[in-house]
Amino acid sequence: MLDASVVMTWAFPNENDAGALAIMRRLRTETARVPVVWWFEVRNVLLVNEHRQRIGADDAAAFLRSLSGLRIEIAPIPDSGRIMALARQHRLTVHDCAYLELALRDGLPLATLDAQLTAAARGEGVAVIP
């Protein structure tokens, strides 16, 4: 499981995180699963940062191309009822619970830099990386 918060540190050199970089290296040989919302979140972060002039359109496109070279698999649509229940229980967004629900469904650890999502994952018995 791979959260967009980890992936987006790779796009901005001043946000490098040792744990996130280690995960990127692992994706050269291991496969990560992501919920469908991940696809939209990655592109939205790039677009917002283009508007803020932190990244240019060409660099954003190059970043997306580099992601396509990693082993990232988009999972099928999740169980709506379970996501809503998790969101209510942990007071998280539906976006964040898409990651948590997939980690629970597939029995996978979750790579995230989000503190609230980390706490919820641990509360649900999901291992968190890093």
pLDDT digits (tens, 9 = 90+) for 85-126: 999 999 999 999 999 999 999 999 999 999 999 999 999 999
> 27 and 71 in contact (C-beta within 8 Å)?
yes
Which structural domain, as residue segments, surrounds residue 64?
Answer: 4-129
Going by pLDDT thresholds of 50, 70 and 90, the confidence category of residue 66 is: very high
pLDDT value at residue 120: 98
pLDDT value at residue 16: 78
Amino acid at 98: A
Domain count, the chain: 1
The residue with tokens 């809503």 is 84
For residue 31, what is the domain's CATH number? 3.40.50.1010
> 87 and 97 in contact (C-beta within 8 Å)?
yes
